[in-house]
């Protein structure tokens, strides 16, 4: 049985997945915006991604200090890289 709300719009679901892949977006930001804690996000990613994509994502996020507000350096004060959103 799922422990998260599966009633997300396709746009919200896409944004959640995008945020989960971003190195500088902490899990807490996703929880604040969409109500998914880290465990629920992992469950959602497992459901929405292909197995290989999920495994790559888990490998990438496991142990990454920027994904947790309490572990990240105080020098990191933004949620994305300055060159991420090109104009």
What pLDDT, in 10s, does the model give residues 36-76? 999 999 999 999 999 999 999 999 888 776 665 665 556 65
Task: Report whether pLDDT(1) > 50.
Answer: no
Q: Average pLDDT, stretch 19-47?
A: 91
The domain segmentation of the chain, as residue ranges, is 10-67
Task: Compute the distance between CA of residue 72 and CA of residue 8 in angstroms, rounded to an integer.
Answer: 29
Length of the chain: 87
Q: Which residue has the tokens 């290989």?
A: 52
Radius of gyration of the chain (CA): 13
Q: Average pLDDT, stretch 15-36?
A: 89
- The 3-state DSSP class for residue 56 equals helix
pLDDT of residue 67: 64
Q: Which residue has the tokens 């804690």?
A: 37
Q: Are 44 and 4 in contact (CB under 8 A)?
A: yes
pLDDT of residue 3: 56
pLDDT of residue 22: 87
């Amino acid at each position: 049985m799922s422990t998260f709300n599966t009633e997300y719009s396709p746009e919200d679901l896409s944004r959640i997945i995008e945020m989960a892949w971003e190195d500088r977006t902490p899990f807490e930001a996703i929880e604040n915006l969409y109500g998914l804690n880290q465990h629920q996000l992992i469950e959602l990613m497992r459901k929405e991604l292909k197995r290989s994509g999920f495994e790559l994502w888990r490998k990438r996020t496991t142990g990454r200090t920027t994904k947790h507000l309490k572990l990240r350096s105080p020098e990191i004060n933004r949620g994305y890289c300055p060159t991420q959103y090109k104009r």
